[in-house]
Amino acid sequence: MAAIKESPLPDLVYRGKVRDTHRLDDKLFLMVATDRISAFDVVLPTAVPDKGAVLCQISAFWFGMTEDIVPNHFVAMAADRPDLDVPAHIARQAMVVRRAERIDVECIIRGYITGSAWSEYKKSGSVSGMAMPAGLREGDRFPEPLFTPTTKAEVGHDENMTMEEVEAMVGKAEAKRLADTTAAVYERARDAALSKGIVIADTKMEFGYIDGELTLIDELLTPDSSRFWDAEGYAPGKSQPNFDKQYVRDWLDERGWDHEPPAPELPDEIVEKTRLRYIEAYERLTGGSLE
């Protein structure tokens, strides 16, 4: 199936790094997960077929599993709404969502030390400015998940935020609620994924308000927003076998790319291996086949 780089549907209201959002009415949007892929906050020129379908369908799976913890914006898969007249090849990677007032914080939760957290720790012994114990190895599990929020940049790179900065934005009680809710959703998913042979090392979530109620929005626990490791090959002290876009990040770093646009094209081999990793993550976690 050909990759969908941009949604051709009408009433486009927002085009993000990956998602194209269309207005259905005053309260509902159609959110299309395209096959665009970003790395280091830069959209790559090459798309990955089936990626958007994985993101959309795995988000719907997690929204259903965690809706007792916090409400979410998911209404229905577009494929289950024939009245919308969305072409089938787009409907498989689109969902109807409720319109929300977004909170401009990326709620990042880290269960294991890796990625930018590992890079910071090696330099300063801290993660997101918080002092950490000496002697941690890459991939070690934290005693408790760490909430490390960042700004949500429309262009360029997100920046770390302190809890004081989050409190200044939303208030002290709401900042704690964001941290606690993010941790609760992560822990539910972490335990479920581990039973399927996948370690969720970290993830990021977005929240907003619908009718004044804190609500989980955007995507949830996808291979784009999370690090998924193969539990069978997991061992601290090395890079972990993964089912996410770390494979793409590693290839880009091996080329010496400086993480600034323009990004290089991905070769066919990297695209196909990434596609298969995403699909395997979906199938392992949900126990089903990609629609």
Does residue 87 lie in a domain region? yes
Does residue 44 lie in a domain region? yes
- Residue 67 shares a structural domain with residue 160: no
CA 166 to mean position of chain CA atoms: 20
Long-range contacts at 217-220 (CB < 8 A, ≥ 24 apart): 217/72, 217/73, 217/97, 217/100, 217/102, 218/19, 218/73, 219/19, 219/33, 219/55, 219/59, 220/58, 220/59, 220/62, 220/63, 220/66, 220/72, 220/185
The residue from 101, 133, 162 where one domain ends is 101
Share of residues in the chain with pLDDT > 90 (%) = 94
Please identify which residue in the block is written with the tokens 């209201």.
Answer: 13
pLDDT number for residue 200: 98
The residue from 101, 132, 152 where one domain ends is 101
- What angle is formed at CA 71 by the lines to CA 279 and CA 158, rounded to 5 degrees? 65
138-152 per-position pLDDT tens digit? 999 999 999 999 998
Q: Who's near 1: CB < 8 A, 6+ residues apart?
A: 49, 50, 89
Does residue 167 lie in a domain region? yes
241-254 per-position pLDDT tens digit? 999 998 899 999 99
- Structure tokens, 57: 């369908």
Q: Give the domain CATH number at 28.
A: 3.30.200.20
SS3 115: helix
- Residue 78 shares a structural domain with residue 51: yes
Does residue 50 lie in a domain region? yes
- Structure tokens, 150: 């960042």
Distance between CA atoms of residues 286 and 274, nearest Å: 18
Does residue 260 lie in a domain region? no
- Residue 84 shares a structural domain with residue 106: no
- Residue 84 shares a structural domain with residue 121: no
Interval 125-139 mean pLDDT: 96
The mean pLDDT value of the chain amounts to 96
Residue 201 host element (H or E): strand 198-210
Q: Give the domain CATH number at 111.
A: 3.30.470.20
SS3 203: strand
Number of domains in the chain: 2
Find the domain containing 22 and state its range: 12-101
Does residue 259 lie in a domain region? no
Instruction: Say if CB 148 and CB 183 are below 8 A apart.
Output: no
pLDDT at residue 92 tops 80:
yes
